[in-house]
Amino acid sequence: MFGEAEQAFSGIDVLVNNAGIMELAPLVEIEDEMFDRTTAVNLKGVFNGLREAGRRLRDGGRVINLSTSIVGTYFPHYGVYAAEALTHVFSKELGARGVTVNAVAPGPVETQLVMTGKTEAQLQAARERGPLGRRGQPEDITAVVSFLVGPDGGWVNGQVIRANGGAI
């Protein structure tokens, strides 16, 4: 992927790590296969993207990791879902090159990841948790990412922005 982007655009300026899966269960019920699958995408996938970005991103570039606001709630069953430490560490490692590294942590957004496998009562509860009284839309998150990768986001580094409508 990085090679193709370098060839097509003569270099890489932005990486948005946005792949993620969400399988939920109490920690005592999580089998190794579920843990391995979740960490392969949500942690190792981010790690692999960051490592290549560190090697290939042009100076002054931007890295955005998608996380989740749920990590701040410590809700049951979300034990293996997300890790934000990589964002903080990598922002320090690449800072000398002018590369910023941030995370956007959405709240409940109407995506397949959020909408699949939940009851209507769970979806209603998520909508009611926030003072805005709605779930987010993908455009709500892309606006934050656009700010961070654009020229106005150049002074923001090592941050986790909880784009959640105040829900969490």
Residues with a known catalytic role? 81
Q: How far apart are CA 141 and CA 138, in angstroms?
A: 5
Rg (CA), the chain: 17
Per DSSP, the three-state class of 117 is coil
- Looking at the DSSP assignment, which residues form a beta bridge with residue 15? 63
Burial of 61 (0-12, 13-18, 19+ CB in 10 A): buried
The DSSP annotation for 44-57 comes to: IHHHHHHHHHHHHE
Per DSSP, the three-state class of 16 is strand
How many Å separate Cα 77 from the centre of its chain? 19
